[in-house]
Structure 1
Amino acid sequence: MKIKYDHSFELPRSIVWKYIKDENVLRNSLPGCSFFEERSTGNYLAEIGIHIGPIKDVFKLEIYTIEENSASSYRLHVKGKGNLGEINGNGALHIKEKQGGTHLSFLADAEITGALAFASKRILDGTTDTSLANFFQKMEKEIKKRIYLVKKRSR
């Protein structure tokens, strides 16, 4: 399954880069996340509940940083298992300045097995787009909330 998603943040690239791998920001941004922990720098464990049409499951995920180019790109590998299948994939985030904000492009290639793989491509594509939109919108709100709290503490 190929995934492509673009998002524009109303924040400078340096701020987006600072928070994009923050454990707390990620935990609070991932839809259905019940557990999220950084095991070592750039390597995480997560537990995410999914709901795709009639399919509901909880996936335990391992997320590994493969490569990082400071403030511009980030490649990762995700593997996970639930009762109804497994997911194994690679993703890349590319971040660049764009008119006072930040443009993020996300590209991924994932292999899905088990009952989850039998969901129609149309359902998976629609759910993936919605989940990614929710994730990046929540992430932007989380980042703005953290910036506000830092400013408030420094007064």
Structure 2
Amino acid sequence: MNVAGVKEFDAPRAVVWGVIDDPAQMAGLMPGVEGFEIKDDRHWQAKVKVPLGLGGLKMTIDFEKLEERPLEYASMSAKGKGVGAMMNMTTSFTLSGEGDHTSMAWTAEVRIAGPVGSMGQRVLQPIINQQVGNVLTALEVKVAEAKARAEATS
């Protein structure tokens, strides 16, 4: 499944970049995070309970930064394993804009294998869309908080 979109922020690129480039802040955006460990500046791991309808799917997800051009572009991969599912995701973000406005074009390719993956795109697409919406809403809040902190110290 491929999902993509554009998110607008009322914050400078450096502020938005500061949030999306920080694994600890990004972990805080993901729904269902139960634990998080930074291994090094390119690798981290999260223990997550992915909400799926009536229950949740516990997964361990390994993240790796693939490429980054500060204030402009970043891509990463995520590989998750849980009982009944394996997930592979590649995502990227491209930032543009000037002054206090930043536009973030994003894309993600998500593959889910195993019994959960066999539910099919018709069932999984709305769940993925909801989770993406939750992450983007949380990202908007984190960026606003980071902008307020930056303005308070300047």
TM-score bin (small chain):
0.7 to 0.9
Task: Give a deviation string over 1:12-36, Cα, whole Å, max 9, x none.
Answer: 1111011212233223211111112
SS in 1 for 2:21: coil
Of 95-104 and 23-32, more deviation after overlay is shown by: 95-104
Paired letter, 2:38: E
Pair 1:116 & 2:116 matched: yes
1:10 paired residue number? 10
Task: Give the structure 2 partner of residue 143 of structure 1.
Answer: 143
Quickly say closer, same or farther: Cα 1:126–1:133, change in 2 above 3 A: same
| Aligned length, in residue pairs | 154
What secondary structure does 1:115 align onto?
A: coil
Tell whether the 8 Å contact from 1:5 to 1:129 is kept in structure 2 after alignment: no
The alpha-carbon deviation at position 99 of structure 1 amounts to 7.9
Contact 2:85 2:115 in 1 (8 A): yes
Q: Is residue 52–residue 123 contact of structure 1 (8 Å, CA) maintained in 2?
A: no
CA distance in 2: counterparts of 1:117 and 1:27, whole angstroms: 23
Partner of residue 85, structure 2: 85
Deviation at 1:6, TM superposition (A): 2.3
Structure 2: 5+ residue runs without aligned partners? none
From the superposition, tell whether residues 5 and 135 of structure 1 become closer, same or farther in structure 2 (CA, over 3 Å).
Answer: same
Q: TM-score, normalised by structure 1?
A: 0.86
Match of residue 94 from structure 1: 94
Distance in 1 (alpha carbons) for counterparts of 2:138 and 2:76: 20
CA contact (8 A) 1:86 1:114 kept: yes
| Structure 1 residues without counterparts, runs of 5 or longer | none
Equivalent residue for 1:34? 34
Contact 1:55 1:116 in 2 (8 A): no
Q: What SS does structure 1 have at the residue aligned with 2:131?
A: helix
Q: What RMSD over aligned residues (CA atoms) do the two structures have, in Å?
A: 2.2
Structure 1 segments (4+ residues) deviating >6 Å? none
2: distance between equivalents of 1:99 and 1:70?
A: 16
CA offsets 1:29-86 (integer angstroms, 9 cap, x no match): 1111111222111321011111222452111000101111111111111111011210
Tell me: CA distance 1:103–1:146, structure 2 relative to 1, closer, same or farther (3 Å).
closer
Identical counterparts, % of pairs: 19
Contact kept? 2:49, 2:58, Cα under 8 Å: yes
Report if the CA contact (8 A) 2:11-2:147 is conserved. no
In 2, the alpha carbon distance for the partners of 1:89 and 1:26 equals: 15
Determine the structure 1 residue equivalent to 2:132. Answer: 132
> 1:107 Cα deviation (Å)?
1.4
AA at the equivalent of 1:53: G
Aligned counterpart, 2:72: 72
